[in-house]
Structure 1
Amino acid sequence: MGTGTLYVVATPIGHLGDITQRAVEVLRTADRILAEDTRRARALLSHLGIGGKPVDRLDEHATDADLSRAAGHLAEGEQLAFMTDAGTPVVSDPGNALVRVAASAGAPIVAIPGASAVMAALSVSGLVNGGFRFVGFLPRSGRERREALALVASTPETVVLFESPHRTSDTLRDLAERVPGRKALVARELTKVHEELLRGTVTDLAALDREWRGEVTLVLGPAEVDAAGERAALSDEEIDRRIDRDLALGRRPREIADELSVELGASRREIYTRVLARKG
């Protein structure tokens, strides 16, 4: 029996009308469906009038045994469709492991493109100037989060990230400390009934006194450049405020210097000397 095919199927991020005809056909003809959330998958399949198919869970807690089982289905010639609960798979979900297993097994892998919160937000942002960097969800806390924020702040191109509504205000405030003047878009509940697009500088958006709800996609515009083509830098006062705040939080001077040197594109030695001077 020949090797089956893995279809990576994009599903709507909100509006059910955004499913493609090709995606519907693949879901209808697949032998088995693998889903990040079987409850949501079955609800979509029911809406599409597709029933009687096995739907297996394959989420972030998938074990090697789960992946081996999927590889076994492919080896038996089954046509598998992998879908997440919303959007394009393998953008911010556990699908990478499945794709790697299928590729290692020599199975054909076919993309069924469609809705994507990343591309939807970019298309309405007006903030694209060439390339962009997608960073997914930022770490919640600690050094990993600070390093991720430093990467975002040091990226001159447009940056797209996802955020939990419970952490959106914190993320906007953290970015406002690093890139206060960069233009940004907060895209909330894209394609859904309560879709909302909020524009302004990062500082403007961070100052909003509101509660965030639903799915949030944040687009950070490219770094501003001056007449000489140089990136706009933080003022000396802004840099000193950052250093003073981090020192007050008990962070080590070397750690502060490492982070700021990446963000500012400056000499680590010079920043370290400056941090020591502020501490003294």
Structure 2
Amino acid sequence: MENRMTGTLYVVPTPIGNLEDMTLRGLRVLREVDFIAAEDTRHTRKLLSHYEIVPRELFPYHQHNVLGSSEQIVARLREGKSGALVSDAGMPGISDPGAEMIGALLRESLPYIVLPGASASLTALVGSGLDTRMFQFFGFFPRERKGQESLVERLRNEGATTIFYESPHRIRATLQVLYEGVGNRRFVLARELTKLHERYVRGMLCDAPELLSEDDERGEIVLILEGHSQQSEDREESLTNEQIKLRVGRLAAAGIPAKEAMRVVAKEAGLSRREVYQVLLDHADDEF
């Protein structure tokens, strides 16, 4: 091999969908290391089998056994064995316990090498068409209300493009939380990346309910949110009466109480809730 592997842990990215995205270097490492620590050994066996790789030793390393597996890996490295750390998909250490393993190696002064490769977050960001000059990644969107409120408050005036992971059954609620918290911005959902049914859903947060298919339950989603900017401010302050009425109606149709719907649209339009209410009264009989 090009590099001396004795006592070194290799962090090896794996495909996020298309098996052809496995790198030649990654395959070489997986063939030659003494052990492989995997997020899910069953999943990794399928990958290894596809490339006709027979591991010398394969054992689990996941969020439920971090301490024990970390000690196991450290012990093998101290014996002079080389190893590989892999996750089910993408780069180990991104939204999985791989980062804790790196921390353990640093504390133990043991060598490691990170291989470049597949990453769902960066693939989705580039494919989104949103600004890539400055971005941030938050992993999975918080489930607890307190965590959501804290994050939304942080994002309200954040200029960077933001990346999240989310599950199909929670994406509607997450988009609604963002709409209520940061106003109307562009967003992109990346689904089934690198797979046969890969697709991007693009739109404004206010239109999210209409853009999402009721029966689309495939795989993990990457959510890309536009940052706060003068462009979005101008857009928020230029809502027509027609848009105000339509957006209040869409929120109400989604089950949002009338007062809350008016509050959200008022914030989006740069108006008071009373002004939004007056628009609705003045145009109650209008058909746009």
Q: Does 1:221 align with 2:198?
A: no
Find the aligned partners of 1:50 and 1:127 in 2 and give their Cα distance: 39
Is 2:170 the partner of 1:154?
no
Larger Rg: 2
Compute the RMSD of aligned alpha carbons. Answer: 2.8
Counterpart residue type for residue 103 of structure 2 = R
**TM-score normalized by the length of structure 2:** 0.76
Q: Quick one: which of 5, 22, 25 aligns to 2:25?
A: 22
1:31/1:79 contact within 8 Å kept? yes
Q: Select which of 68, 83, 87 maps to 1:84.
A: 87
Aligned partner (choices 99, 103, 106) of residue 106 of structure 2: 103
| TM-score, L = length of structure 1 | 0.78
In percent, how many aligned pairs have the same letter? 38
Give distance in 1, aligned partners of 2:212 and 2:66. 42
Deviation at 1:62, TM superposition (A): 1.7
Q: For the residues of structure 2 that align with 1:11 and 1:53, how far apart are their CA atoms?
A: 19
Give the match's secondary structure for 1:217.
Answer: strand
**Which ranges in structure 2 are unaligned for 5 or more consecutive residues?**
238-243, 248-255, 262-266, 269-288
Following superposition, the deviation at residue 128 of structure 1 comes to 1.6
Q: How many residues align?
A: 241
Distance 2:235 2:181 in 1: 10
Is the contact made by 1:176 and 1:206 (CA closer than 8 Å) also made in structure 2? Answer: no
Residue deviations 1:208-234 (CA, integer Å, cap 9, x gap): 3523321200111222315xxx95696
1:169 aligns with 2:172: yes
- Does residue 108 of structure 2 align to residue 116 of structure 1? no
The Cα of 1:34 is off from its aligned counterpart by 0.4
1:73 correspondence with 2:79: no
Q: Is the 8 A contact 1:176 1:203 kept in 2?
A: yes
Deviations 1:85-141 (A, max 9, x none): 001111110111111111222111101111100110011111024210100001212
Q: What is the DSSP-based 3-state SS (H/G/I as helix, E as strand, rest coil) of the residue aligned with 1:154? A: coil
- Does 2:204 match 1:197? no
Contact kept? 2:11, 2:85, Cα under 8 Å: yes
Runs of at least 5 residues in structure 1 that lack an aligned partner in the other structure: 247-262, 265-280
Is 2:162–2:227's contact at 8 Å kept on the other side of the alignment? yes
User: In the alignment, is the contact (CA less than 8 A) between 1:5 and 1:110 conserved in 2?
Assistant: yes
User: Is the partner of 1:146 in helix, strand or coil?
Assistant: helix
